Amino acid sequence: GVRQVVVGAQAIRVRNVTLKIDYPTVGALGYCFPTRNVLMREIVQQSHVSGPSKQLFLAAHGALNSWRFLLLACCGTVVLGYGFLFLLWACFDKLVYVLAIAMHALMLVSIAGFGYAGFHDERNIFGSWLDTSTARLCAFLTSGLLLLLWVLFVLLSLYSKEAVRSTVESVNATCGTIAQVPSLLFQPLAHSAFTVATLALLLYGLAWVLSTGRVVAMSDPVEQGGLK
């Protein structure tokens, strides 16, 4: 359609503006340009930063703006690491046995649950996608498969009982050695600090090297030693 608009503040003029449908645009230099503009498309293609490089710059810029969050994440990682080490030193044997018992209990409950669902259609989760007979068959098959896995897990637990006991004793001995040499506790922290510092230095060096370059269009001729 056509709409009348007022142009100018002192000399008022009325213009007829024809409304058109939206057209696809591309962002460049802080403005939106139509993608059908051949000249603008060529400029964008020749001067636009490539995808991976742009993502690298955006990631580095975001890291600089959110350095507090990164520092907090590093501190949290260190705390979690030392907490896990304390857990191994304090109750590693109990943790292993509790996990094994929890695994047995979970598998037994799953076996009983799928078996119960096979006899009660209203509790069968397969009934939402399959017909009644197929849902029952799937429930019983799942229960049988879990039963087979539980039997294999029991046999594996009995077979590796001595190996688990030896592993627990080795971990306890290692934790005792670390407790006798406190300087070993600072090794992961020092390694993390060195890694972060090295990464920051490399990123700074990469940004410095890129800043010394000169951006030219891909269609420009290469000049070296007076030769073009």
**pLDDT of the chain, 228 residues: tens digit per residue:** 455 555 555 555 666 655 565 667 766 656 666 666 566 666 655 555 555 556 666 666 676 677 788 788 878 887 887 888 888 888 888 888 888 899 999 999 999 988 888 888 777 787 777 778 888 888 889 889 999 999 999 998 888 888 888 888 888 888 888 777 777 777 777 887 888 889 888 878 877 887 777 766 666 666 656 665
Q: Quick check: is 125 in a domain? A: yes
Q: How far is CA 95 from CA 84, 98, 137, 165, 201, in A?
A: 11, 5, 37, 12, 41
Q: Is residue 14 part of a domain?
A: no
Measured between alpha carbons, how far is 45 from 58 in angstroms, rounded to an integer?
A: 19
How many independent structural domains does the chain possess?
A: 1
Helix, strand, coil fractions of the chain, as percent rounded to 5: 70, 10, 20
Domain assignment of residue 79, yes or no: yes
d(CA 87, CA 93): 10
CB 6 within 8 A of CB 14: yes
**CB contact set of 47 (below 8 Å; sequence gap of 6+):** 215, 217
User: In this structure, is residue 191 part of a structural domain?
Assistant: no
Residue 102 lies in a domain: yes
Alpha carbon separation from 91 to 83, 166, 180 (Å, rounded):
12, 15, 18
Token pair recorded at residue 154: 């029991």
In a domain, 165, yes or no: yes
Answer yes or no: is 77 within a domain.
yes
Tokens of 209: 């090297």
- Does 210 reside within a domain? no
Residue-number span of the structural domain to which 106 is assigned = 66-180
